[in-house]
Amino acid sequence: MIVKQYVKEFEKLGFGMFVHFGIYSQLANGEWVQSLHGIPAEEYQKLKDTFCPDVNWAKDLAKTAKQAGCKYINITTRHHDGFSLFDTCGLSSYDAPHSACGRDLIREFVDACHAEGVIPFFYHTLMDWYHPDYEGNFPKYLQYLRASVEILCKNYGKIGGIWFDGMWHKPDADWEEDALYATIRRYQPEAMIINNTGLSAHGALGHPELDSVTFERGKPQPLNMEGAPKYVASEMCEVTCDHWGYAREDLNFKGAGQLIRELADCRRYRSNMLMNVGLQADGSISLMDRAIFDVLGRWVSCFDEALHEPEPTDIPIADKPDDFILRKGNHYYLFCYHLPMSADPNVALHSDAQYSSAFSLPGKLLSACWLDNGAEVSFRQEGEKVVLQTVPYTYGRSLVVRVAKLVTEA
């Protein structure tokens, strides 16, 4: 099986930010608003005449991603409505340089990513509600699609990858995938090529040129790569609420604790988590999304060492189905999900203060400590078996999933 180095590097990124932004952001009703609210095309397209993100939108975005510990940002360069945030160089006038702002927003995005040291990725829609050839002359539409992708691959320097979405809309059409992916390879031989299989086909392998499977809003699973021509990575994209594009009246926010567990779950199977923000019309991040990224970032900063290099193991842990161990050489990282809290029973919800963990490691255990504060974790070795006796949280902190670092004899 072929294993590409850039695919292995992608797996190490661990945590990325997904960004949905477009002229639809002005309506604050999600990115499907044109289609789902039946807005006539001429009326919808006028939104470009008022689209004018703040000049610092991209800098703020990249800085927020960096502070949250995200190693990459994947932005919607063109979404289903067909409007492009990039300069289409004459392919269409339905793009940011022809909108009220008159700027190439993808140029601003890429510059901001470079300034912060995060890797830019480009989402590009396959389904298109704007271009007449999408329904009228599909082979011609595919030429337009490839020409658009070529611009993205040629004009913005080295990118992390291209992320397609919408093939599910015409599953039986010939998308000329060979030619599409060859367009990318011509300019970006080491870009990840991803094609989102959507909500109904979690983890499905596709064309052999694809570098990662997707688990849209799903729990990543180990991949069965038997017979596959090459090794592929996996990625799970997730929303903070129920929408990808900003929706003012969506109040259904997930708890940061749940999202932390999901990020840890992703690492169990070496999947990356791509956490979404739907930008507001001026390109700013809403208060709730900002707060969620702030909390996720604080967790990532505690456990960063365990989130990139260490690889999955199948070391079983007695009676703790959620917990798991990652490994890098003779360093093992134990992810503990349900640490209790020790406190007066009148203040803490669960004050059962016992928590122990039993498993076997290949070598003799030399030391164990919490990664977030270096505090020692007591353990005893019973033959091959290690029993850790962990101290619960004391009232005052609760880290959702806490990671202990275990060092064995080399």
Residues that bind ligand GLC (CB under 6 A): 31-32, 165, 196, 198, 216, 237, 244
Query: How far is 122 from 204, CA to CA, in rounded Å?
Result: 21
With tokens 């004459």, the residue in question is 90
Q: Judging by beta carbons within 10 Å of its beta carbon (0-12, 13-18, 19+), is residue 316 exposed, middle or buried?
A: middle
Q: How far is the CB of 36 from ligand GLC (least distance, A)?
A: 10
Q: How far is the CB of 145 from ligand GLC (least distance, A)?
A: 16
Q: How far is the CB of 343 from ligand GLC (least distance, A)?
A: 41
Q: How far is the CB of 198 from ligand GLC (least distance, A)?
A: 5
Which C-beta is closer to ligand GLC: that of 20 or that of 402? 20
Which C-beta is closer to ligand GLC: that of 218 or that of 316? 218
Judge whether 260 and 225 are in contact, CB under 8 Å. Answer: no
Query: How far is 181 from 61, CA to CA, in rounded Å?
Result: 29
Q: How far is the CB of 215 from ligand GLC (least distance, A)?
A: 10
Q: How far is the CB of 17 from ligand GLC (least distance, A)?
A: 13
Which C-beta is closer to ligand GLC: that of 97 or that of 198? 198
Which C-beta is closer to ligand GLC: that of 98 or that of 217? 217
Which C-beta is closer to ligand GLC: that of 120 or that of 278? 278
Query: How far is 403 from 270, CA to CA, in rounded Å?
Result: 16
Q: Judging by beta carbons within 10 Å of its beta carbon (0-12, 13-18, 19+), is residue 105 exposed, middle or buried?
A: buried
Q: Judging by beta carbons within 10 Å of its beta carbon (0-12, 13-18, 19+), is residue 231 exposed, middle or buried?
A: middle
Nearest by Cα to 392 from 345, 363, 348, 355: 355
Query: How far is 192 from 211, CA to CA, in rounded Å?
Result: 6
Q: How far is the CB of 195 from ligand GLC (least distance, A)?
A: 11
Which C-beta is closer to ligand GLC: that of 13 or that of 237? 237
Which C-beta is closer to ligand GLC: that of 21 or that of 303? 21
Q: Which two tokens stand for residue 391?
A: 């101290």
Position 85, amino acid = L
Q: How far is the CB of 306 from ligand GLC (least distance, A)?
A: 27
Which C-beta is closer to ligand GLC: that of 41 or that of 182? 41
Q: How far is the CB of 124 from ligand GLC (least distance, A)?
A: 11
Which C-beta is closer to ligand GLC: that of 51 or that of 244? 244
Longest alpha-carbon distance in the chain: 74
Q: How far is the CB of 20 from ligand GLC (least distance, A)?
A: 6
Residue nearest to ligand GLC (CB): 244
List phi, psi (to 5°) of 65. Answer: -65, -45
Which C-beta is closer to ligand GLC: that of 289 or that of 323? 289
Rounded to the nearest 5 degrees, what angle is found at the Cα of 381, between the Cα atoms of 377 and 386?
70
